[in-house]
Amino acid sequence: MIEDRNAGTASIHQFLSCQPLFEGISPSSLIGLAKASRLKPAPKGSFIFFQGDPADAAYMVWRGVIAIRLENPDGRELVINDMSIGNCFGELALLTGEPRSTSAEALVDSEVLLIPRFAFMAALEQEPCLALRLLEITARRLQNSSKREEALAFHDAEQRMAYQLLHLDELAKDKGYLTLSQDELATRVGLTRQTVATILGRWRRSGWLLTGRGHIVVLNRRELSLLVQSQEVYGEE
């Protein structure tokens, strides 16, 4: 069992003070959050929480990348968001009191800052600016969700894959090198693994990328970008 790590109140306080979410809140509220919070290791492939779990904390990414996954009743999964350093997630379930509507999985070896519900809600009640920033974050995520839904609804298979590869490349620590399997890519774009493999093979032969076991190397961002912007309909194989 992986135990939570005590990073020290000073380190956590410094981290929180640098995040836009907590900009402008009082020193006492920030100290209260820092004292109550703790670091939680999240090795690659581990889950911070599952869809349907009770909500007892909010989280911020200390290091690494966390994928937010949505599972349909028929068992199909879709990655709907990626959280990077400083991003807050899991907070909406605290506000609604409902079980988790998504799951959160570490894409790489990561650590998250766990902020207990009592501390988060106390700061929210005392700091109106925190509530305003949460509204801003929610609005921004709704916009991003709308863009993603548009991509899934109106873009063909190749455009959806190109869009996702470029998005992941922006998040990657080593630009151009994506630690991603074909199954994971299929989950992100709502396609079958066979369709994903066919398109990747065609792009590999064109010199746009390289593929290996569990990774993709992007070689030609320009062609992928042009494909995303194209209005021509290719049709899914």
CATH-assigned architecture of domain 9-151: Sandwich (2.60)
Residues of CATH 1.10.10.10 domain(s) within the chain?
155-229
pTM confidence score = 0.72
pLDDT for the residue numbered 148: 67
Higher pLDDT residue, 100 or 76?
A: 100
Residues of CATH 2.60.120.10 domain(s) within the chain?
9-151
Instruction: Return the exposure string of 191-216: e unless at least 16 CB atoms fall within 10 Å of the residue's CB, then b.
Output: beeebbbebbeebeeeebbebeeeeb
Strand partners, 227: none
Q: What is the mean pLDDT of the chain?
A: 86
Topology of 155-229 in CATH?
Answer: Arc Repressor Mutant, subunit A (1.10.10)
pLDDT above 70 (res 146) = no
Mean pLDDT along residues 7-30: 91
pLDDT for the residue numbered 32: 95
Specify the amino acid at residue 50: F
